[in-house]
Amino acid sequence: MHQFTITDKIKQLDIQDIKENLFHYSYDSKSLKSLVKSNTSKEDISYISAYSSFKGEVYENIVYELLMQYAQEESEITRFVLKGPYQDKENLYIKSGLLIDRSSQIVYKSAYKDISEFDALFFTKDSLYFVEMSTSKKTSSLNKRLAKKYALLKMIFPTLNINALIVVTKGSVGLRNFPTYATIWLTNDLEDEELIEKIIFAKKVKNDVQTLKPPRNNKFVEALKVKYKKFQYFPTLEWILNKSRENPKFPVDLKFFSSAKLGLYFDIFTKLYIGYITTQEFLTFYEDFNLKIKSDRIIVTIEKVNQTQLDIVYYAKETNGKLKRIRLEENNISVKDKELDGFTNAEVRFFMKVLEEKHHLTVDNVKHILNNMSLIK
């Protein structure tokens, strides 16, 4: 992996020659503007939260602008993906693929939903680097997000090495916990409050058209011009379900989940669907369960519950439309609502149509899986 070195200009967040460009980006300033206009105290938790979030947006755009300059000068970088005010929006409503979303960010979409977002992407001769930026001093949540992004990029760019460039501020903690494919850059804190306030109250530039021309350089490419291997979200989940159930010796072939490819799928999807049980059967595991369930099917998944642990997790679609995530641990029962417009709800709706009688799991089947989860390496 080539070790890209941070320049003094990026380290110091020197924006003198790109300051005006920052006003062309799309910002979510509505809530913060409202708090400022109502003279909300800067010590108020709502103000601190809104200001911190907005400051993070400005920081991301500053670093992106500086990276554009860096890419022009760095000979190892062969292509750099455009976003924000530099991106042509004519393909805004494409359903799936690597593209620019409504907020001008680089995303990979499936069925109109964002699978992953990337703060920046650039290529070398044999590698792809995805960039993550943050002003938070705590980096644990940023670190957790990397696995999904890495896995997805590995799927759609199978012939390239996938690496990450992490840009955070001095004083950030947990930097030693990042994976070996990550390069860490440390910048100064963004402390230009006058600039931030000007951006908050700047007249909004129309963000449905390209408002800035990128520098004349062949390295700059639009997301939609990048060639990659298509990743089909729902068909892949269905393929995993059927493949895991086709071994005649086992109701669910746990060793199927042990390959490196399935490891990437766990990172992308978090949970992989293996079948369903009936409400009556579920009472064997959770005798106090009393929800009214649609279609009398409780979906069974193998879920990556943290960085190192897999477990059986159940999804119950109620007759009122709500979706519950249920995890049964020895000393703890966790029941949580899932967002109605989230990916899990979309997945469950999909599997409610896909699951057939052959996908039914008995109580003994589920117990066998629970007792043999260690077969998944």
Query: Across the beta sheet with 113-118, what order do the strands follow?
Result: 97-100, 106-110, 113-118
pLDDT at 261 over 70: yes
Please provide the average confidence, as pLDDT, over all residues in the chain.
92
Of 16-25, 95-104, 159-168, the poorest mean pLDDT is in 95-104
Query: Of the candidates 359, 252, 357, 355, which has an alpha carbon nearest to the alpha carbon of residue 312?
Result: 252
Of 176-180, 251-255, 283-287, 373-377, the poorest mean pLDDT is in 373-377
- State mean pLDDT over 179-184: 96
Give the residues across from 322 on adjacent strands. none
Q: What angle do CA 293, 299, 304 make, to 5 degrees?
A: 135
pLDDT tens for residues 289-298? Answer: 999 998 899 9
Which pLDDT does position 253 carry in this prediction? 95
Catalogue the E-assigned strands of the chain. 79-81, 97-100, 106-110, 113-118, 120-123, 127-134, 161-169, 182-187, 220-221, 271-277, 293-304, 310-318, 323-329, 332-337
d(CA 245, CA 343): 23
- State mean pLDDT over 347-351: 95
d(CA 208, CA 248): 54
One-letter amino acid at 312 equals I
* Mutual angle of helices 233-244 and 260-269, in 10-degree steps: 130
- State mean pLDDT over 199-215: 74
110: confidence class by pLDDT, cuts 50, 70, 90: confident
255: confidence class by pLDDT, cuts 50, 70, 90: very high
pLDDT at 91 over 60: no
Neighbour-count burial for 197-212, b at 16+ CB within 10 Å, e otherwise? eebbeeeeeebeebbb
- State mean pLDDT over 120-132: 97
Question: Can you give the pTM of this predicted structure?
Answer: 0.92
d(CA 236, CA 67): 35
Which pLDDT does position 206 carry in this prediction? 57
Q: What 3-state DSSP class applies to 337?
A: strand
- What does the DSSP assignment read for 220-243? EE-GGG-------HHHHHHHHHHH
pLDDT at 108 over 60: yes
pLDDT tens for residues 26-62? Answer: 888 888 888 888 888 888 898 899 989 999 999 999 9
